[in-house]
């Protein structure tokens, strides 16, 4: 019981993003930790960036209340995440476990300026 209460307390102030609010939060935004990954969520569902120092391209979408993406050159299936936000900080959850956390920052006006 204490673990459940501690988890609820840790999430106080975090909003679960759903549907259109989730889409709007990620369009033309950069999401990365500055070391391991940097993903750019471009309008029209384009996803690009760096993952462990290697360039990556794929597609992203919102399915119901989850943020989903799939890398073009990966044999992995599409992954879908629940998203929680507090200010510009976003946490992604897969099967109830937090797997990524970082800030959303706007992409440059000209998305071609984003490093590939």
Q: pLDDT tens digits for 71-86?
A: 988 778 899 999 999 9
Each residue's pLDDT, cut to its tens digit, for the chain (116 residues) gives 444 433 444 568 899 999 999 999 999 999 998 888 999 999 999 999 998 888 999 999 999 999 999 998 877 889 999 999 999 999 999 999 999 999 999 998 765 555 54
pLDDT at 86: 96
**Residue 106 Cα to chain centre, angstroms:** 13
**Alpha-carbon span 59 to 48, nearest angstrom:** 8
**What's the pLDDT tens digit per position in 87-98?**
999 999 999 999
Question: Looking at the chain, how many residues does it have?
Answer: 116
pLDDT at 34: 83
**Residues 48, 41: contact at Cβ < 8 Å?**
no
Q: What is the dihedral of CA 13, 45, 49, 23, to 10 degrees?
A: -10
pLDDT at 15: 96
**Which of 20, 75, 67, 18 shows the shortest CA–CA distance to 47?**
67
**Alpha-carbon span 57 to 112, nearest angstrom:** 14
């Amino acid at each position: 019981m204490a673990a459940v209460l501690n988890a609820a307390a840790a999430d106080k102030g975090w909003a679960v993003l759903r549907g259109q609010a989730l889409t709007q939060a990620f369009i033309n935004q950069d999401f990365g930790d500055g070391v391991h990954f940097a993903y750019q969520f471009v309008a029209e569902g384009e996803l690009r960036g760096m993952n462990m120092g290697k360039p990556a391209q794929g597609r992203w979408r919102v399915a119901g209340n989850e943020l989903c993406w799939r890398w073009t050159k990966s044999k992995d299936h599409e992954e879908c995440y629940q998203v929680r936000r507090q200010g510009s900080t976003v946490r992604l959850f897969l099967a109830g476990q937090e797997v990524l956390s970082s800030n959303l920052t706007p992409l440059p006006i000209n998305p071609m300026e984003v490093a590939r």
